[in-house]
A = this chain, B = another copy of it.
Amino acid sequence: MMAGLELVSASRCFDGEVRKYCHLSQSTKCKMAFNIFLPDTAISQHERVPVLFFLSGLTCNEDNMMTKGGALPHLSKKRIALVTPDTSPRGVGIEGEDDDWELGTGASFYVDATQNPWKSNYKMYTYVQREIQQLVYDNFSVDSSRVSIFGHSMGGHGALVLSLRNPGHYKSVSAFAPICHPSTSDWGRKQFLAYLGSNEEAWAEYDATELARAYDGPELAILIDQGDSDKFYSSKQLQPSHFIIATESNRRPIKLDARMQPDYDHSYWFIQTFMEEHIYFHAKHLKA
């Protein structure tokens, strides 16, 4: 138990615990931090509880969702664990890694980079899909057959991509203001060019709209909330309509509920407002 995991802090919260751990990652070749919320049933190891992974957006780290998302009372009630990974490697010594909030630190876009200077550390697809999940299944009293994923903005993109590329792995997926068609928006093209190179064919496997068109796995339930006063929505960085059209062209296996929320913006004020509904959506699919 806990091999390679270093406990940084632990606090009791909502009849459970919020803990921060760090570990040396094989995928990103650096120290990575994550938070986990464990309800008491998981702490006492009375049962293996279902688990949710949440991917945060640009500039965020492992703390934003845990601190500002308002998820814990609902997770406690439904006895679901929550894991919040960081958004990128940090301090790996790549020139310029901290210079641009849209690239490098805090801006991995959850891809496995293939280009220099990023390719040796920026393996966040593998980190989130394989390494951190295995760590969590091995070290905590969670049920690896009841797993769902969600995220915000760049992390909403990450959640959609991971679920569409791994049919049957996640019981459900949801997103707040996700980047839906990154191959065609500034948020996406800039990073894919840097991380994946100029051959745009390589981008499709990290593009939720392209993946949704081709998805043929088991039925996948998706919930998306988008605020209509979100300035990144108005500036066409998010493009939920592209994703909706793609799922409609392929409607059998994807069950999408995409909702516009009047007057809400891109912030955690928006996220926390609809958090309870997202948790209950996942709880239903996780049989929690």
Contact = CB atoms under 8 A, between A and B. Distances in A.
A72 interface: yes
Nearest to A72: B272
Contact of A13 (B12, B15, B72, B272): B272
A67 B70 contact: no
Interface of A is mostly: mixed
Q: Which of A14, A229, A273 has the most CB of B within 10 A?
A: A273
A62 to B, nearest CB: 15
Contacts of A68: 67-68
A265 B72 contact: no
Interface of A: 11-15, 18, 67-68, 70, 72-73, 227, 229, 263-265, 267-270, 272-273, 276
Contact of A229 (B12, B73, B227): B12
23 contacts: A11-B264, A11-B265, A11-B267, A11-B269, A11-B270, A12-B227, A12-B229, A12-B264, A12-B265, A12-B269, A12-B270, A13-B270, A13-B272, A13-B273, A14-B272, A14-B273, A18-B269, A68-B68, A70-B72, A70-B73, A72-B272, A73-B272, A73-B276
Nearest to A76: B273
A222 B11 CA distance: 26
Given A13-B269, A73-B272, 5 more contacts: A11-B264, A11-B269, A12-B265, A68-B68, A72-B272
A180 to B, nearest CB: 22
Contacts of A72: 70, 272
Contacts of A70: 70, 72-73
Contacts of A264: 11-12
9 closest Cβ pairs, A-B complex: A13-B269, A11-B269, A12-B263, A12-B264, A14-B273, A11-B265, A11-B267, A13-B273, A18-B269
Nearest to A13: B269
Contacts of A11: 264-265, 267, 269-270
A67 B66 CA distance: 11
A183 B248 CA distance: 68
A12 B274 CA distance: 12
Contacts of A273: 12-15
A11 B273 CA distance: 11
A215 B206 CA distance: 66
A276 B276 CA distance: 15
Contacts of A272: 13-14, 72-73
